[in-house]
Chain A
Amino acid sequence: MELRNLYQEDEMKFILICLGLLTLSFKTFAADGSSGCGPGWYIAKDNSLLSSSIRATTNGILLPTVTIGMTFGTSNCARHSIVKNEMEDLKFATENYFEIASDSSKGEGQFVTAYAELMGCHGKSIKTFKNKMKTHFSNLFNKSSINPEGLVKETYIIILKDKELLHNCFAV
Chain B
Amino acid sequence: MLRSLTLILFLSLYSRASLSFNNEEVLSFSKSIEWKKLLYYKNGKSSIESPLFFLSPVGRSNSLEELKKNLEVFSLRNKREGEYYQCLFPARFNLLKSKWPNKLVSVECPVFDSWKNDLGLGDMYLVYTSSYPNNPASMFGHTYLRFDRSNKGQKKQTKSLIGYSFAFQAQTDPSDNAFEYTLKGVTGGYNSFLEIKPNYFNIGIYNNAESRDLWEYKINITESEKEILIGHAWEISHSGAFKYYFFDENCSSLLISFLEAIKPEMNFKSKNEIFVVPQVTLREVVGEFNSSLANFEPSIKRRILERVSHFSSLEKDSFKKGMRELKELNIIENPDVLDNLVDFWKYKNYKEKTKLSNEDKTLMYETLNLRSKNVGVSKPVMIKTPAGENPVFGHKLSRVSIGSGEDLIDLSIKYGFHDFFDPELGYDNKSFINFMDINFFKKDKDQSFRVKVADILSLNQYNSFLPSFAWRASLNYQSILNNSYAGLLGAVGISHRESSQQVFSLIGFRFRRYEELSLARPVVNLGYKYLFSTKFKFAFDSFLERREDENIMTGEAKFLYQNNGYSFGPVYRYSEETEYLLQLNYFF
Contact = CB atoms under 8 A, between A and B. Distances in A.
Interface of A: 37-44, 47-50, 52-53, 55-58, 60-62, 64, 78-79, 81-85, 88, 92, 95-96, 98-99, 101-102, 104-107, 110-111, 113-114, 117-118, 122, 126, 134-135, 137-138, 141, 143
Contact of B205 (A49, A61, A137, A141): A61
B248 interface: no
Contacts of B193: 44, 50, 78
B342 A102 contact: yes
13 contacts: A39-B52, A39-B81, A40-B50, A50-B171, A53-B171, A57-B205, A61-B354, A81-B198, A82-B164, A85-B118, A96-B200, A110-B157, A143-B362
Chain B's interface size range is: 35 or more
Nearest to B50: A43
Nearest to A107: B372
Interface in B155-191: 155, 157-158, 161-162, 164, 169-175, 190-191
Given A79-B238, A82-B118, A114-B153, A44 B174 contact: no
A88 B197 CA distance: 13
A154 to B, nearest CB: 14
B289 interface: no
Given A38-B238, A48-B173, A50-B171, 6 more contacts: A44-B191, A44-B193, A56-B174, A60-B354, A99-B346, A106-B342
Interface of B: 49-50, 52-53, 80-81, 115, 118-119, 151-155, 157-158, 161-162, 164, 169-175, 190-191, 193-198, 200-201, 204-205, 209, 237-239, 241, 339, 342-343, 345-346, 349-350, 353-354, 362, 365, 367-369, 371-373, 378
A40 B153 contact: no
Given A49-B190, A79-B196, A98-B349, A118 B118 contact: no
A62 B29 CA distance: 46
B119 to A, nearest CB: 6
Contacts of B197: 78, 81
A91 to B, nearest CB: 8
A98 B349 CA distance: 9
Contacts of B239: 39-40
A85 B151 CA distance: 10
A133 B553 CA distance: 61
B383 to A, nearest CB: 14
Contact of A57 (B196, B201, B342, B343): B201
Given A50-B193, A79-B196, A102 B158 contact: no
B152 A118 contact: yes
Contact of B343 (A102, A111, A134): A102
Contacts of B173: 48-49, 52-53
A60 to B, nearest CB: 5
Nearest to B371: A105
Given A49-B191, A92-B162, A106-B342, A61 B209 contact: yes
Contact of B174 (A55, A78, A137): A55
Nearest to B240: A40
A172 to B, nearest CB: 15
Given A53-B172, A117-B155, A84 B369 contact: no
Given A50-B171, A53-B172, A79-B238, A113 B157 contact: yes
Contacts of A95: 198, 200-201
Nearest to A114: B158
A105 B161 contact: no
Contacts of B118: 82-85
B339 A43 contact: no
B382 to A, nearest CB: 15
A43 B241 CA distance: 8
Contact of B196 (A81, A106, A141): A81
Given A44-B193, A85-B152, A143-B365, A110 B158 contact: yes
A134 B372 contact: yes
Contacts of B172: 49, 52-53, 56
A147 B354 CA distance: 14
B161 A110 contact: yes
A117 B174 CA distance: 36
Contacts of A38: 81, 238
Contacts of A104: 368, 372
A110 B295 CA distance: 15
Contacts of A84: 118
Please give me the 6 A-B residue pairs with the lowest Cβ-Cβ distance, nearest first. Answer: A137-B372, A40-B239, A49-B171, A105-B368, A105-B371, A53-B171
B354 A50 contact: no
Given A49-B190, A81-B196, A96-B200, A44 B378 contact: no
Contacts of B191: 43-44, 47, 49-50
Nearest to A79: B237
Contacts of B154: 117, 122, 126
A141 B354 CA distance: 15
B369 A105 contact: yes
A49 B189 CA distance: 10
A122 B158 CA distance: 12
Contacts of A62: 201, 204-205
